Amino acid sequence: MNIFNNAALLIGVPLLFAFSIPLFGLISKELAKWVTLLTIGFNASFSFYILFAHKYPTMVVMGNWLPPFGENLYIGPVAAFLVFVISMIGLLIAIYNLWAIKKGDVIRFSVLFLMFTAGASGIVLTGDIFNLFIFMEITGISSYALAAFGPERRALGGAFKFLVVSSIGSTLYLMGVTLIYTQLGTLNIAEIAARINQTTPGLLTFAGILIISGLAVEAELFPFNGWVPDTYTGAINGVSASLSGIAAISAVYALFRIAMTVFGKSGGAYVSTYGKIDLMALIALLATATVIIGELSALSQKNVKKMLAYSSMAQMGLIAVGFSIGNKLGVYGGIFQLVNHSIAKSMLFLIVGVLVAVGVGENIDDFKGLWKRNPFLTLTFSIGAFSMLGFPLFGGFWSKFSIVAASVQRGGWYDFIIGLVLFASVVEAFYYLRIVAYMFASDVELPKVKTPITPAIPIFILAVSIVAIGIFPQIVGTFSAQAAGELTHKMSGYILHVIPSIAAH
């Protein structure tokens, strides 16, 4: 156990600057946006340092009270990698926002955006099950407000729906946490995880179902994902990008930290959970339903943003399926798919944002003949689409491949996942390639449109990283293999790093 207290800056600095942005805003609105950019830039470079100087696994201990007595942040392979991805995508979206957010309350938008990234990093870093709830609410409340931002009135309906569903979800989560607390008398994730078999199985199952349904709201799993299409369509594109790129990562992390580390049995090749029913199998069922419903709904959409929203839902289902296979390869594929999805989906939303702003529009018919009007956005959109549907030499191929390989390894009824992934790919191919075909093949004569420089930078970087991951999958692969090791071996991967003296059960 080594202690690296400076890592608390990953949460502290964004929160500090979030609340001091109104002061910078007194000077100029542009300055507020640049402060946001620089703060997330600090987070990105600091997490880059932690990841590549191999500072992890490490811990932040508040006031020198060692866990389980004090609150702690734990930075293992999972947290180090995911915080890096969150802050990099946040940085790129902040660059896009420099150009996109001109009208409206720029200063409060910046405050909310910083709190959003701080909360998402907090979810990934924290080692305390109640602090997880608090960071969920920080992320949640700022994302409701972000989703309501913008000139269009449809944003309000989506944001309200999101608020209602998500706050019911977090209440359920809180109830589950309280039930576990009554059994074990602790809120530290590592100690709960080590002593979880001392609880009453019936109560534990009830608590587990409450917690899983609470977390499934943000992780967009069926039947808790009714908010997704309205919220993603209504919100301005920068916000949709950050919901699918940043909030999705933290939500999936929270779901599987609870399901695998807290409830999971240690030992054994495949993670299963304590209690009367196996929560991992429950998640697998929910995720399967999510994939099928999401893909089929995406098929019939005429609006590209709505299509991307349903596709995002389906992809989250696919990620959860990958995790819920429960062996190392499956978790590897899940994390890989998570990173690919956040990169590609946030890029697609940013591209739609640019296209709407330059006057092309967001319906599928507006994309006809885009290749002649603007080659750059056409190419990057196609790269994102190819990565989504798992075309070889693009990022998505490797993750879908490892999910299929993991389900073959597991065997039994998990074999149907092969069919599920293929089904998802075929349907995705249908609706993404339809747009790609429209863009390249139609000969509609319309005036050319110019790409603004500022939003082109993040789109270009994201597109290059998709291709780079496709050609050199070990860029993400090394880290997600380490992360899979942490999640599948709860004793040696997590608990013993946080509380070395704890007795194995």
Partner 1 sequence: MQALQIFLQNWIYLIGAMAIFGIGLYITLTNENIFKIIVGLDIIESGTNLFMTAIAWHPKAVMPIYTATNQLVVNGKVVSADPLPQSLVLTAIVIGLGTTALALTIAVKIFEKYGTLDVRKIKEAKR
What string marks each residue from 104 to 133 as x (binds partner 1 by CB under 8 A) or -? Answer: --------------------------x---
For residue 312, the Cα-to-chain-centroid distance in whole angstroms is: 10
Handedness of CA 17, 23, 25, 27 (dihedral sign): negative
Strand partners, 140: none
174 binds partner 1 per the rule CB under 8 A: yes
Structure tokens at 189: 């994730």
SS3 content of the chain, % helix, strand, coil (to 5): 75, 5, 20
Q: Are 60 and 7 in contact (CB under 8 A)?
A: yes
Structure tokens at 428: 């995705």
CA distances from 75 to 51, 56, 118, 125, 265 (A): 10, 6, 15, 6, 22
From candidates 8, 29, 137, 467, binder to partner 1 by CB under 8 A: 137
From candidates 50, 148, 350, 354, binder to partner 1 by CB under 8 A: 148
Count of residues that bind partner 1 according to CB under 8 A: 26
Residue (234 or 245) nearer to partner 1, CB: 234
Pick the stretch among 166-174, 247-255, 280-288, 338-346 that binds partner 1 (CB under 8 A).
166-174
Pick the stretch among 103-111, 176-184, 359-367, 492-500 that binds partner 1 (CB under 8 A).
176-184
From candidates 31, 66, 98, 134, binder to partner 1 by CB under 8 A: 134
300 binds partner 1 per the rule CB under 8 A: no
- Cα angle, residue 138 at apex, residues 136 and 143 outer, rounded to 5°: 95
Residue (136 or 319) nearer to partner 1, CB: 136
Pick the stretch among 43-51, 161-169, 191-199, 339-347 that binds partner 1 (CB under 8 A).
161-169
206 binds partner 1 per the rule CB under 8 A: no
Strands (DSSP E) contained in 70-167 are 72-75
Residue (93 or 177) nearer to partner 1, CB: 177
From candidates 181, 206, 376, 401, binder to partner 1 by CB under 8 A: 181
Residue (234 or 353) nearer to partner 1, CB: 234
Say which DSSP state 503 is in. Answer: P
- Cα angle, residue 246 at apex, residues 262 and 238 outer, rounded to 5°: 160
Residue (178 or 198) nearer to partner 1, CB: 178
Half-sphere exposure of 143 (CA within 13 A, CB side): 36
From candidates 74, 135, 144, 397, binder to partner 1 by CB under 8 A: 144
From candidates 82, 86, 159, 321, binder to partner 1 by CB under 8 A: 159
Q: Are 209 and 101 in contact (CB under 8 A)?
A: no
Q: Of 365, 357, 383, nearest to 470 (Cα)?
A: 383
Smallest gap from residue 32 Cβ to partner 1 (A): 21
Residue (230 or 428) nearer to partner 1, CB: 230
Structure tokens at 84: 């890096």
Residue (98 or 357) nearer to partner 1, CB: 357
Smallest gap from residue 293 Cβ to partner 1 (A): 20
163 binds partner 1 per the rule CB under 8 A: yes
Residue (178 or 474) nearer to partner 1, CB: 178
Smallest gap from residue 187 Cβ to partner 1 (A): 8
Query: Which amino acid type is present at position 44?
Result: A
CA distances from 59 to 1, 85, 140, 319, 470 (A): 7, 19, 25, 28, 33
Region of 101 on the Ramachandran plot (φ > 0 left; ψ -120 to 50 alpha; else beta): beta
171 binds partner 1 per the rule CB under 8 A: yes
28 binds partner 1 per the rule CB under 8 A: no
Look at residue 425 and give its three-state secondary structure: helix
The contact set with partner 1 (CB under 8 A) reads: 130, 134, 137, 141, 144-145, 148, 152-154, 156-157, 159-160, 163-164, 167-168, 171, 174-175, 178-179, 181-182, 187
